[in-house]
Amino acid sequence: MVETGRSSGTLEELILQGMLYGHILRSPVAAGTLVRINTPKLSSAYTLITAHDIPGKPFLDFYASHMPILAGTQVHYIGEPVALLVGPDRTKLEELARATEIIAEEDEALFECSIFNSDRILAKKTVQDKGIDSFFKGDAVLTEATYSTGIQEHWYPECHGALASYSYDKMLIRTATQWPFHVRQAVASVLGVSVEDILVEPTELGSHLDGKLWYPSLIACLAGLATYICKKPVKILLSRLEDFQFSPKRPASQIALRTATGTDGELIAIEGRPIVNMGASGPFAEEFISRLSIGALGAYRSSHRRIEGYAVQSNIPPAGPFAGFGFSQANFAIESHIWSITDRLQQNPLEWRKKNALCKGDTLLQGIPVRDPVPSEALLDTVAAMSDFNRKWSSYELISRYHRSLHQFPLDKTLRGIGISLGYQGNGLLFEGSDKGTFGIEVTLEKDGTLLIKSSAIVSDEETKSIWATIAGEILGISSSQIAFAPIRTDEVPDSGPSCLSRNTTIITKLIQRACEAIRKQRFRDPLPITVKRQFRPTKAQKDGLPFSMLSWGAAVVEVEIEPITLKARARGIWLMVDGGKILSEQRARISINLSCIHALQWATGNGLSYTEGIISPDSMDYYSIQLQDNPPPVYLEFLWNDNEQPKGIGELPFTLIPGAFAQAVSQAIGKPIRKLPILPSDIERELRSREEQA
């Protein structure tokens, strides 16, 4: 496989002659009116840029909201960019920033979302079922609870940043982004120029966990604005602390669930009220609330469903996706909820899931059909066998119930539990307006027999390209060494849409396949070079809001032990069974899933990162680790091999499956439901003490 040109490398490495640096000045208040920015006297080498200097549209446009590039008069969160200081020396910039006074009249700020008025609703999802209330009466077993999840930090390998410079008559933006054409559109809009005048060249992305979908566009706009004004290259690179405090996080959520089940365990009706805190101007609010609402029903069938979901605005920094758009939060809620159901009914949670799992022909929320067979029984039975689930669950259940009968759990002994979960990952589209258009790729078979693939799809590892090269090579009968990928630059490759929701695996792979098949048909008929473009056109259903093009499935078991004394919960083992369709690279799939397992566990057990009075305290960074504090549990992973199916994205499955299974295991160990993430030792202690007090 040959690259026809180097990628830009990392943003930190890029130094241009005459380059200036940008330092963002930020709002000190969570809500209010910006009065004045008092900087010390600036020499001619230093420039202060404010919202008044923006020549074009002063905000980033999203479907349900727009986000100011620089706050004009109103500020909406602590840390909101209010101005940009630009100059040649970063140390001097820091000094100037420290000496700058930003004066704002503070208004009342709202940080929480448990109570809100309609003004704060960014997006809503309502699915009604008129007759549902009748099912919550009578002999049905009712279970009702609210589940909450905390924020999570991405900790990218490289902080957010962008470098803007002029390249002849165009502006060149270099930034690590999952969506180069979004950056192009945003910068063009802010500068009031045509998109043709902006070139975007992505730099090395690394592991992004979906955090570099839209935020790079904001930073790119600031860098572009600075270059436009100063007429010199400008680089903005957030410090780690800035990134930690102010860049988008996985949003906090609260999901209220109420279910009615028959005494035999059949899920009759389910009602959910998910609320997600999107922060200020939360982009993709619709996306979030849609997936949260769908996910709140889990992988289970019920005839009667009612959802009322809200994406709510607040005065904290805007939230963003983290390995998906809210599915993980929702699945934690439903999987933990099932623990309460099966605990009440004293049913084996494995059997309950097999009984109630979705099948082909069932529908998800809003009539979204499940078109393909659902291998729930195979997944559940296999993962249960791998983990010896039934035997362990029965033993732990016996012990737990015994302790419950005494109203006391021995805190000087290790408590153990085991949990199981079933779920799916929806691969598909963002259905905010900017993604409902067509997007595609271009493939050319050159005269010399080499193949050039052009796409703006960003991959975080070279193996994806190897896979595409292998597919192309197999179809056209050429070796991988003759296949090249055009370096990504927005004037040289077509718009392939955002690289998220496993589109690289699902959609882009398919487009490459189709393009190569078309070339194969033409190649001995038409003269070379042959160029084929293939586009993905959303179906009407997708345009109308169907979020998934396909589902991948998984089941997980997590065994937990709770350390005596500290009451820290740690995983003893994780077992996963995944149906990802055709697995293009087993090695890569294993690496990806194993890593995601650790990240999912860290979310479930790690430090409780949170906004306090609208800001993440800088000290929090000292105590935050993306690694587990304890030794890692072994992860046992198997795939349901199915080469006849399309390849599907599976990277989000651990986030969907593990936190819920972990929480159930802890619930079994302590005999009380766990309803929040992360699960801290103090939470476990509180639940155990409340049991004793109730007794």
Partner 1 sequence: MTIPFILNGEDVVAQCSVDKRLVDILRDNFKLAGTRADCRSGLCGACSVIFNGRLVPSCLIPAFKVKDGEVITIEGFMQTLEYQDIISGFNQTGFRPDQFCATSIILGIEALLSQNLRPEPQEIYTAFTDIQCRNLDPNQLVPMIKSISEIRQRRLYGRSA
Partner 2 sequence: MEDLHNLPHNQVFSPYNLAELFLFWNKFPDAVLFSGGTDLLRGQTDRLFRLPQNLISLDKVDELKKINRTERYLEIGSAVCLSDILRLGKIVPEALVTIINSIGNPRIRNIATVGGAIRSNHRYSDLHAILIAQDATYELKSAADARWISASKFVASGPELLQEERSLISRIRIPLTTWTYIFHKKIGHIHRDDPEGGTFLLLCNIDKDIITDLRMIFVGSAIIRFKDMETNLVGQSIPLGEKNIEILLKDCLELIADKIPDKTYLQNTIFRSITAALDSIV
Which sign does the torsion angle of CA 590, 488, 68, 166 carry? positive
Q: Which of 363, 395, 629, 690 binds partner 2 (CB under 8 A)?
A: 629
Supply φ then ψ for residue 201, to 5 degrees: -125, 110
Verify binding: residue 693, partner 2, rule CB under 8 A: no
With CB cut-offs between 5 and 8 Å by kind, which of partner 1, partner 2, none does residue 94 bind?
partner 2
Q: Which of residues 447-466 bind partner 1 (CB under 8 A)?
A: none
* Residue 619 C-beta: closest distance to partner 1, Å: 10
- Which of these ranges, 47-55, 87-95, 205-213, 294-302, lies near partner 2 under the rule CB under 8 A? 87-95
With CB cut-offs between 5 and 8 Å by kind, which of partner 2, partner 1, none does residue 682 bind?
partner 2
Where does 203-249 show beta strands of DSSP type E? 234-237
Q: Which of residues 397-426 bind partner 2 (CB under 8 A)?
A: 411-412
392: part of which helix (H) or strand (E)? helix 389-406
Q: Which of 2, 4, 5, 13 binds partner 1 (CB under 8 A)?
A: 13
With CB cut-offs between 5 and 8 Å by kind, which of partner 2, partner 1, none does residue 107 bind?
none
Instruction: Give the C-alpha distances (Å, rounded to integers) separating 561 from 311, 394, 547, 625.
Output: 35, 15, 37, 21
SS (H, E, C) 472-522: HHHHHCCCHHHEEECCCCCCCCCCCCCCCCCCHHHHHHHHHHHHHHHHHHH
Verify binding: residue 685, partner 1, rule CB under 8 A: no
Verify binding: residue 595, partner 1, rule CB under 8 A: yes
Q: Which of residues 174-233 bind partner 1 (CB under 8 A)?
A: 204, 206-207, 209
Verify binding: residue 368, partner 1, rule CB under 8 A: no
Verify binding: residue 301, partner 1, rule CB under 8 A: no
Verify binding: residue 10, partner 1, rule CB under 8 A: yes
Q: Which of residues 133-162 bind partner 1 (CB under 8 A)?
A: 155-159
Task: Give the DSSP letter string of 542-579.
Answer: HHTT--EEEEEEEEEEEEEEE-TTT--EEEEEEEEEEE
The count of residues interacting with partner 1 (CB under 8 A) is 31
The count of residues interacting with partner 2 (CB under 8 A) is 25
Supply φ then ψ for residue 586, to 5 degrees: -65, -40
- Which of these ranges, 239-247, 342-350, 353-361, 507-515, lies near partner 2 under the rule CB under 8 A? 239-247
Where does 128-202 show beta strands of DSSP type E? 141-149, 161-167, 170-175, 198-202
- Pick the closer one to partner 1 by CB: 207 or 434: 207
With CB cut-offs between 5 and 8 Å by kind, which of partner 2, partner 1, none does residue 246 bind?
none
Verify binding: residue 40, partner 2, rule CB under 8 A: no
- Which of these ranges, 346-354, 533-541, 631-639, 649-657, lies near partner 1 under the rule CB under 8 A? 631-639
* Residue 612 C-beta: closest distance to partner 2, Å: 14
* Residue 622 C-beta: closest distance to partner 1, Å: 7
SS (H, E, C) 677-691: ECCCHHHHHHHHHHH
Verify binding: residue 95, partner 1, rule CB under 8 A: no
* Residue 411 C-beta: closest distance to partner 2, Å: 6
* Residue 620 C-beta: closest distance to partner 1, Å: 12
Report the distance separating Cα 603 and Cα 596, nearest Å. Answer: 10
- Residue 358, CA atoms < 13 Å, CB-side half-sphere: 25
**Is 602 in contact with 328 (CB distance < 8 Å)?**
no
Query: Which residue is it, tokens 């189709």?
Result: 514
622 backbone φψ class: left, alpha, beta (φ>0; ψ -120 to 50): alpha
Report the distance separating Cα 139 and Cα 260, nearest Å. Answer: 9
Q: Which two tokens stand for residue 229?
A: 């004004």
- Pick the closer one to partner 2 by CB: 240 or 401: 240
Q: Which residues of 132-169 are buried (b: 16+ CB within 10 A; e: fewer)?
A: beebbeeebeebebbbbbbbbbbbbebbbbbbbbeeee
* Residue 159 C-beta: closest distance to partner 2, Å: 12
34 residue type, one letter = L
**Binding positions for partner 1, rule: CB under 8 A:** 10, 12-13, 155-159, 204, 206-207, 209, 239-241, 587, 591, 594-595, 598-599, 621-622, 625-628, 631-632, 634-635
**Binding positions for partner 2, rule: CB under 8 A:** 90-91, 94, 98, 239-241, 411-412, 564-567, 607, 618-619, 622-623, 625, 629-630, 681-682, 685-686
